[in-house]
Amino acid sequence: MLGINVEKSNENIVIKYHLAKVEIPISDIIEVTLDDTYAGTDEGAIRIGPPYGTTDRVLIKTKTNNYILFTTNYTFIMNKINSAIAEN
């Protein structure tokens, strides 16, 4: 598996990267934006994906955690998450 895989499953966003699988309830998502810092400003954020050689970082803010997705395909990931939010 190359890169990060994002899909909607029931009421969750499922993020898969290698052997890791993270499920985020859609109702918990507050904001999805691009993060223009190198490693994110939130030291406690959960980082997913290879931080080396990637140009874009998608920040998912939730009620309990923040997630930074390191990717080269941010438009696909953001569209997938935003469409799942819109469907709810």
- The domain spans of the chain are 5-87
Residue 39: the pLDDT is 63
Architecture of domain 5-87: Roll (2.30)
66-83 pLDDT per residue, tens: 999 999 889 999 999 999
- Which tokens is 41 given? 């400003």
pLDDT digits (tens, 9 = 90+) for 4-45: 999 999 999 999 999 999 999 999 999 999 988 776 677 889
CA–CA separation, 26 and 36 (whole Å)? 24
Q: Is residue 1's pLDDT more than 60?
A: no
Choice between 38 and 84, residue whose per-residue pLDDT is larger: 84
Q: Residue 51's pLDDT is what?
A: 79
- DSSP annotation of 72 reads S
CA separation for the pair 46, 28 (Å, rounded): 15
